[in-house]
Amino acid sequence: MHTHDLSRWKHHHRFDTESHGAERSTRLVMWITAATMVLEIGAGWWFNSMALLADGWHMSSHAFAIGLSAFAYAAVRRYAADPRFAFGTWKIEVLAGFASALFLLGIAALMVVGSLERLWSPEPIHYREAVVVAIIGLLVNLVCARLLGGAHHGHDHGHDHAHAHGHSHGHAHAHGEDLNLRSAYLHVIADAATSVLAIAALVGGWLMGWRWLDPLMGIVGAVLVAVWAKGLLLQTGRVLLDREMDHPVVDEIREGVEQGLADSHTRVADLHVWRVGRNAYSCALTVVTHSPTLDADAVRATFSMHEEIVHSTVEIQRCAGDERPRAA
């Protein structure tokens, strides 16, 4: 689909049924996470467990971030028909994922500071009670992961089918994933991992007397969270900064034009590709040709098999002696 008018594509991609399902699952997980957060922070303070407190505060970051994801879905739905968004509202979701990852890095830093304080100044811990609360937190995380995982995989199934390209080298590109839903899912998985670490630390301290294990696991959990947050930052930042020129479709567009129009000695002089949806791209290209009759539609036909290119702008520059350059 190559068109100068994006209205049909924007209307089709406004807010599908799968996005509604993702929004409902995200909102439900937000409330479950918030309730568990209150339980863990209160229990960690009462039973004097740094691992439990770290898990609870970490869960607070997840409650905020998952709430941010739910808000992003609502904003996308609300402004879907707003003509001021030239390429639709999809990047609101990506921006929410980016903000969520930044917040997660901040919480990881606080977890490290709190754990170091407990290493230098250890205090007695009520291990038995703390273990029970940590197990409850883990079970809640697993339930939330199941809720978001179902929406995540269902969304991927609906959008991640591959299509073959009519090139001699034949690539198949997976459709883009929902980075907003992925950020919420990643928060829950990270929380489950820190819950496991908290349980291991509490059991080790309870049975072996290793009091240092509790704050140490807080640091390990913070490092794990920071690594996952970094990955999410890179993914979302790439989209927000339009860093897509290393995507395989870029070379395939160039190759398609130059091979498809080889008889007219046409080459691509300039090419820009950027993402405007989960698996939707826009491109602007300039071609230099010896053909006096080549038009923009003929250029677009050379990469028409790429359904992910939903908008293209083509400028044709003719060699000296031919017609004046024109854009379409």
200/40: higher pLDDT = 200
Contact 135, 256 (CB under 8 A): no
- Collect contacts of 267-270 with beta carbons under 8 A, ≥24 apart: 269/317, 270/315
160/314: higher pLDDT = 314
Q: pTM value?
A: 0.68
Residue 303 phi/psi, 5° resolution?
Answer: -125, 30
**Position 229 pLDDT exceeds 70:** yes
CATH code for the domain defined by 7-240: 1.20.1510.10
Secondary structure of 109-177 in HEC code, one letter for each residue: HHHHHHHHHHHHCCCCCCHHHHHHHHHHHHHHHHHHHHHHHHHHHHHHHHHCCCCECCCCCCCECCCCC
Q: Quick: pLDDT tens for 233-258.
A: 998 898 888 888 888 899 999 999 99
Lowest mean per-residue pLDDT among 27-31, 61-65, 67-71, 135-139 = 61-65
pLDDT for the residue numbered 173: 43
Topology adopted by domain 248-327: Alpha-Beta Plaits (3.30.70)
**Position 167 pLDDT exceeds 80:** no
pLDDT for the residue numbered 176: 53
Average of per-residue pLDDT across 23-46: 82
**Through-space distance between the first and last CA atoms of the chain, rounded to whole angstroms:** 15
What are the domain boundaries of the chain? 7-240, 248-327
